[in-house]
Structure 1
Amino acid sequence: MAESCHYHTSKNASWQCQPCNRQYCSECIPGSSANYHGQGPDCPLCREHLEYIGASNSAKPFWQMGLFYFLYAFKPGPLTVMGIAAAGSLAISSMGLISIIALVTIVAVVSRYNLLVIEKLAGGQMEAPPLTDALDGNGAILLIKVIAMTLIAGFVGFKLIQFTESENIFLLYTIALSLLAPAAMIVLAVTHSLRSAINPLKLLEFTLIIGWPYWLLWIITGMISSAPTVLMAIVAEKLPSWAIMPTAAAVTSYFYVVSSAIMGYICLTRQQKLGITASQEEDENYLEENDFLCQRARAEAQIFLREGDYQGARQALVDGLRRFPNDETLNERYYRLLLATEDKKALQELGPHLLEKFVQINRVYKAAELYLATEPAPPVHKPEVRHALAKVLYQQHKYQFAAQLLNNLHKEPYPHLDAAYLLLAQVYMDGLGREDLAKKLLHFIRQKFPESALRSEIDTLWKVLSSTTKAR
């Protein structure tokens, strides 16, 4: 079962900190390792290096991925290997030098590529590697190690027969070899160590870490390994003689890749327990510098807030706002931090500035929400901010607050005073039942702004008020 982020329980964790026992999602730890100058991210709490667990933590049980393995073998890398195997088989006509070279080449390419498939999938790389990744100089060495594994297994079996002269012992040994063969291939692929791959205790430890799914893996890979023989028995008679060897080579290579994909994926599901270093898709998660710094400031502030470290959260937000003064999320979280800590002094001093920021970035509804949440209300001085807030508060039927913001606005130099006082008149009339004050305001506007662009609205409201007064 996938582990959830400690701070966002609906999201799977991508990183973990062992000392803090915390798991983080990609929202908590934005970007990729490249954003952290290639060193990888560190824990916001203890600053220790984080371990990437994204691919393994979100991995489904391997038996639920059946179609994935068979489609995986049709990617460009596996198809290239199949093509080489098919083409090389045409050169195998006898046991001459050319045939031996062709046979060794096919075995080397297929073996190296299959080991690479196990290694890459175990590390979390879901795309099939290109063939060029297998041509890294390790192909011959790993082939020798595979041959050495086979020879050592045969030598041990021979010695058992020689010393015990018991067919039952040899039969048990053969069964044990069969059961541990997938484990041996996986250990060799992941560690590149022949000593580990032939160490029975190491292999037994591997099977215990995987648990019962290992035995399901053994059954499935055994069935898949026999698939080429069954398939060729069906189609061999329908193929021309020259096509039998290439077809057999391609089919065998295909099913080997399928088996390797299953082995690699099951390691992915137990990545941390097996001590496998995870690989991260750098291009997919990489962020441009400004986006990364902004998201990191948001994330660290949120983590500190959740941990109750208000001082740490405040410092993270201040650092972020120095770089990104107009970022909506940073400004809101800073304001809410002041509210949470009941820092009345800061709210009175910084509140008006923060509310102005929201008005400037066209988030007036957010500014109004924060204004209402502040007790006592912050002293907003700028007329344009007071007017913008009052508009929203009037729409939300918060008439008293709207009136407080618009009262005495004529004492400030404001080019839209006619619109602001028209709004105040509507507040008095619609919300506070003070038609008398509304009429005084309209009279003031008509005298002060005879050429106002809002003259028609002013006159309409004046008529409404006049008719209401006569009706009484």
Structure 2
Amino acid sequence: MADSCHYHTSKTASWQCQPCNRQFCGECIPGSSANYHGQGPECPLCRDSLEYIGASNNAKPFWQMGLFYFLYAFKPGPLTIMAVAAAGSMAITSMGLLTLVALVAIVAVVSRYNLLVIERLAGGQLEAPPLADALDGNGAMLFLKVIGMTLIAGFVGYKLVQFTGSLNVIMIYAAALSFLAPAAMIALALTHSLRSAINPLKLLEFTLIIGWPYWLLLIITNIISFAPNILMAVVSDKLPAWAIFPTTAAIVSYFSIVSSAVMGYICLTRQQKLGIASIQEDDENYLEENEFLCKRARAEAQIFLREGDFKGARQALVEGLRRFPNDETLNERYYRLLLATDDKKALQELGPHLLEKFVQINRPHKAAELYMATEPSPPVAKPEIRHALAKVLYQQHKYQLAAQLLNNLHKEAYSQLDAAYLLLAQVYMDGLDREDLAKKLLHFVRQKFPESALRSEIDTLWKVLNSTAEIH
């Protein structure tokens, strides 16, 4: 079961910090390694380097990926290997003394590619590698190590026959070789070490780490290894003589890559336990510098808040707001931090400025929400901010608060006083049952702003108030 992010339990973790025992998702650790100047991200809490676990943590159980393995071998890289094997088999038949050399070279390239498939999939790279990656100079040495594994296994078997002469012992040894063969190939692919690949204790440790799925891996790889024989038996009599060798070479190469893909993917599912370094394919996660820095500031502030480290959260938010003073999330989290720490002094001094930010970025409802959450209410001086807050509060039926914000605005040089006092009149009439005050306000507005753009609305409300007075 995939590990969840410590701070967003509905999201799968992509990074982990061993010292802090914390897992982080992509929201906690935004961007890609390139955003961290190629060094990779650090834990926001302890600043140690984080370990990428996204590939293995998101990986499905390997037995649920059947179609993936067979399609994987039809990618450009594997198809090129199959073509090389087929073409080489055709050339071998006419090369005379060079046949053996050519055969060894082809087998070496195919073997190297299969080991590379295991290595890349184990690291989390789901795209098949190109042929060029297999021609890295390690092919000959690794092929010699494959031969070495085979010779050593045969030598040990020969000595067992020589010393015991027991058929039962030989059968047990053969069964052990068959059981450990996938583990040996995986060990060679991951470590490039012959010693690890022939060490039975290391191989047994590997099978124990994999657990019971290793038995399923064994069954699957054995079935795949028989597939070329079955397929060739079906098609061989339908092929011309010249096509049998290349077809056989292509089919054997195909199924060997499928088998390698199975082995590589099972390592991916146990990546952390096997100590495999993950390959992060994160180009698509790269963020532009400003977007990255903003998201990082948000994420770190949230993490500190969740950890109860208010000092760290405040520092992260202040640094973020210096760069991005109009970011809604940063401003809100900073305001909520002041509320959480009950910093009344800061709320009184900074509250009005933060509320103004929300109004400026067209988030008056958020400003009103935070204004109502502050006790005592912050001293909002600017008339346009008071007006914007009052509009929202009136819509939310918070009439008393709206009236407090709008009262005495005529003492300020406010260009929209007619609109503000029209709203205040509506507050008095609709919410506070003070038609008398509403009528006085409207009379003032009609006298003070005879050319107001809101004259029709003012006159309509005036008529409503007068008709109400007549009924009473």
Name the TM-score class by shorter chain: over 0.9
Correspondence for 2:398: 398
TM-score when normalising by structure 1: 0.98
- For the Cα contact (< 8 Å) 1:85–1:253, is it kept in 2? yes
Secondary structure of the 2:459 match is: helix
Q: Does 1:450 align with 2:436?
A: no
- For the Cα contact (< 8 Å) 1:13–1:25, is it kept in 2? yes
Q: Shift of the alpha carbon at 1:462? A: 0.7
Alignment of 1:93-108 (within 5 A): 93=93, 96-108=96-108
Correspondence for 2:471: 471
Q: Does 1:232 align with 2:236?
A: no
Tell me the distance in 2 between the aligned counterparts of 1:101 and 1:79: 23
Tell me the distance in 1 between the aligned counterparts of 2:379 and 2:112: 72
Greater mean alpha carbon deviation, residues 336-345 or residues 26-35: 26-35
Q: Shift of the alpha carbon at 1:297? A: 0.8
Alignment of 1:161-200 (within 5 A): 161-200=161-200
Greater mean alpha carbon deviation, residues 216-225 or residues 37-46: 37-46
Q: Does 1:137 align with 2:137?
A: yes
Tell me the distance in 1 between the aligned counterparts of 2:118 and 2:412: 73
Tell me the distance in 2 between the aligned counterparts of 1:439 and 1:363: 31
Correspondence for 1:90: 90
Tell me the distance in 2 between the aligned counterparts of 1:458 and 1:259: 81
Alignment of 1:11-410 (within 5 A): 11-93=11-93, 96-410=96-410
- For the Cα contact (< 8 Å) 1:91–1:98, is it kept in 2? no
Q: Shift of the alpha carbon at 1:282? A: 2.8
- For the Cα contact (< 8 Å) 1:32–1:287, is it kept in 2? yes
- For the Cα contact (< 8 Å) 1:35–1:289, is it kept in 2? yes
Secondary structure of the 1:71 match is: helix
Q: Shift of the alpha carbon at 1:29? A: 1.1
Tell me the distance in 2 between the aligned counterparts of 1:443 and 1:451: 14
Tell me the distance in 2 between the aligned counterparts of 1:452 and 1:224: 85
Give the letter aligned to residue 429 of structure 2.
M
Secondary structure of the 1:249 match is: helix
TM-score when normalising by structure 2: 0.98
Tell me the distance in 1 between the aligned counterparts of 2:372 and 2:414: 24
Measured against aligned partners, the alpha-carbon deviations of 1:328-382 in whole angstroms (never above 9, x if no partner) come to 0000000000001111111010000000000011111111110111111111111
Q: Shift of the alpha carbon at 1:105? A: 2.5
Q: Shift of the alpha carbon at 1:66? A: 0.8
The RMSD of aligned alpha carbons is: 1.0
In structure 1, the gaps of 5 or more residues are none
Secondary structure of the 2:92 match is: coil
Measured against aligned partners, the alpha-carbon deviations of 1:171-217 in whole angstroms (never above 9, x if no partner) come to 11111111100000000000000110011111111111111111110
Tell me the distance in 1 between the aligned counterparts of 2:207 and 2:383: 73
Tell me the distance in 1 between the aligned counterparts of 2:185 and 2:126: 19
Tell me the distance in 2 between the aligned counterparts of 1:316 and 1:20: 19
Secondary structure of the 1:56 match is: helix
Secondary structure of the 2:9 match is: coil
- For the Cα contact (< 8 Å) 1:425–1:437, is it kept in 2? yes
Tell me the distance in 2 between the aligned counterparts of 1:394 and 1:240: 88
Secondary structure of the 1:277 match is: coil
Correspondence for 1:2: 2
Q: Shift of the alpha carbon at 1:94? A: 6.0
Q: Shift of the alpha carbon at 1:69? A: 0.8
Tell me the distance in 1 between the aligned counterparts of 2:393 and 2:251: 72
Measured against aligned partners, the alpha-carbon deviations of 1:315-340 in whole angstroms (never above 9, x if no partner) come to 11011101110110000000000001
Q: Shift of the alpha carbon at 1:96? A: 2.2
Q: Shift of the alpha carbon at 1:247? A: 1.2
Secondary structure of the 1:90 match is: helix
Give the letter aligned to residue 457 of structure 1.
E
- For the Cα contact (< 8 Å) 1:339–1:347, is it kept in 2? yes
Give the letter aligned to residue 446 of structure 2.
R
Tell me the distance in 2 between the aligned counterparts of 1:191 and 1:92: 32
- For the Cα contact (< 8 Å) 1:118–1:264, is it kept in 2? yes
Give the letter aligned to residue 395 of structure 1.
Q
Tell me the distance in 1 between the aligned counterparts of 2:245 and 2:394: 84
Give the letter aligned to residue 368 of structure 1.
A
Q: Shift of the alpha carbon at 1:264? A: 0.4
Measured against aligned partners, the alpha-carbon deviations of 1:247-291 in whole angstroms (never above 9, x if no partner) come to 111111111111101100100111111111011113022111111
Secondary structure of the 2:254 match is: helix
Q: Shift of the alpha carbon at 1:95? A: 7.4
Tell me the distance in 2 between the aligned counterparts of 1:318 and 1:401: 30
In structure 2, the gaps of 5 or more residues are none
- For the Cα contact (< 8 Å) 1:55–1:124, is it kept in 2? yes
Measured against aligned partners, the alpha-carbon deviations of 1:396-427 in whole angstroms (never above 9, x if no partner) come to 11111111111111111111111111111111
Secondary structure of the 1:16 match is: strand
Tell me the distance in 1 between the aligned counterparts of 2:307 and 2:378: 28
Tell me the distance in 2 between the aligned counterparts of 1:22 and 1:36: 20
Tell me the distance in 2 between the aligned counterparts of 1:390 and 1:430: 14
Measured against aligned partners, the alpha-carbon deviations of 1:80-122 in whole angstroms (never above 9, x if no partner) come to 1111111111112167233223312221121111100100010
Greater mean alpha carbon deviation, residues 102-111 or residues 179-188: 102-111
Tell me the distance in 2 between the aligned counterparts of 1:4 and 1:231: 44
